[in-house]
Amino acid sequence: MTTLIRTATVADAGLILDFVRELAVYEKLAGEVVATEDLLRDTLFGPGATAEVLIAEADGQPAGFALFFHNYSTFLARPGIYLEDLFVRQQFRGRGVGRALLAQIAHLARERKCGRVEWSVLDWNQPAIRFYQSLGAVPQDQWTTFRLTGECIGDLANLATQPSGELA
């Protein structure tokens, strides 16, 4: 099997959405996908693009993708790469596609002088955890991920519009 890793283009927005939906089904989160092709085109390929995507093709067929963006480590005083999504279609798993995607991300991290590559994995996803550990990745068990969404973001953002004396 020949695997090609390439940078996604705006023409891939539909394929990326397909991968996102397949990933959501795998992660038992299908009901949470609100992404559309238009939103992906805008946020991934528009003037304010905030993330990048790699597409894996195996023997000419779309096999998987990786979506990532830059973050920053103050301790290292270097940028990093945060891998938001890595997904390989079932029929291509165990054939080196995921490894090839991660190898390309590692290549980009080294090329861009990044201090680290980070990502999250669901606790129940033992096949992925074993795969990541086989590459030398180390779980960061001492950290807890926090998240604000929707109305909570709005409520907190509203505090920024209050006169400074009212924030306490």
Catalytic center residues: 132
Which 3 state secondary structure label does DSSP give 20?
helix
Query: Tokens 């995607």 label which residue?
Result: 101
53: left (phi over 0), alpha (psi -120 to 50) or beta: beta
The first and second tokens of residue 154, run together, are 């709005």
Residue whose entry in the numeric block shows the structure tokens 């996102």:
20
Listed in sequence order, the residues at least 6 apart from 136 whose beta carbon sits closer than 8 Å to its beta carbon are none
**Vertex 107, ends 38 and 7: CA angle to 5°?**
25
